């Protein structure tokens, strides 16, 4: 008999800002899972450019009308949040070896904290291999054009945040 449980994964991050690479990973995650929760971390060691509310709003806009995607915020330990959601899988994207080192350490710590929570890695789509939220922010802050690397509403907010006026959308 086939298992009828809902296949649910949590894709956590700061999403500051949300990139097309993030969106691609969620869409590909839906090929494997019935539902993906995009979980925006409230607690972060990073200094976000966008407030939690702005990041949540941009993510909700990006996935509006997309069945199977839920956008939420969370605080505290990720594994506790995943367990509260009724999920057992953390979905993470990998771009390069540098991602692997950090993600591997986090996966092992999460596994130590909650043995029933598993981490699943998906390689990024080749087209987004070089993008990261950090590179997007640095480029936009310097006045660079990141259109096409982020959803349009994110690009509009980056232009406003950094006073970018020399690019036409």
Residue 42 among the catalytic residues:
no
Q: Determine which one of 95, 137, 157, 159 is catalytic.
A: 95
- Report yes or no: 7 and 34 within 8 Å, Cβ to Cβ: yes
Q: How many C-alpha atoms does 19 have within 13 Å on its Cβ side? A: 23
Q: Determine which one of 55, 132, 133, 157 is catalytic.
A: 133
Nearest to 88 by CA among 117, 108, 59, 111: 117
Give the separation between CA 59 and CA 70, rounded to whole angstroms.
Answer: 9
Give the SS3 label for residue 14: coil
Q: Determine which one of 46, 84, 127, 167 is catalytic.
A: 46
E strand segments, 60-161: 69-74, 89-94, 118-123
Residue 95 among the catalytic residues:
yes
Residue 75 among the catalytic residues:
no
Residue 46 among the catalytic residues:
yes
Q: Determine which one of 22, 55, 137, 159 is catalytic.
A: 22
Residues annotated as part of the active site: 22, 46, 95, 133
């Amino acid at each position: 008999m086939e298992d009828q449980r809902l296949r649910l994964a949590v894709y956590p991050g700061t999403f500051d800002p949300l990139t097309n690479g993030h969106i691609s990973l969620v869409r590909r995650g839906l090929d494997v899972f019935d539902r993906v929760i995009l979980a925006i971390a409230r607690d972060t060691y990073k200094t976000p450019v966008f407030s939690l509310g702005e990041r949540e709003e941009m993510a909700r806009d990006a996935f509006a009308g997309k069945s199977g995607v839920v956008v939420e915020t969370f605080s505290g330990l990720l594994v506790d949040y995943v367990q509260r959601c009724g999920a057992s899988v953390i979905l993470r994207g990998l771009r390069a070896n540098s991602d692997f080192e950090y993600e591997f350490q986090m996966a092992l710590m999460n596994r130590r904290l909650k043995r029933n929570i598993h981490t699943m890695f998906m390689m990024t789509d080749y087209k987004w291999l070089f993008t990261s939220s950090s590179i997007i922010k640095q480029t936009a802050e310097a006045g660079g054009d990141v259109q096409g690397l982020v959803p349009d509403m994110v690009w509009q907010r980056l232009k406003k945040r950094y006073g970018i006026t020399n690019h036409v959308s």
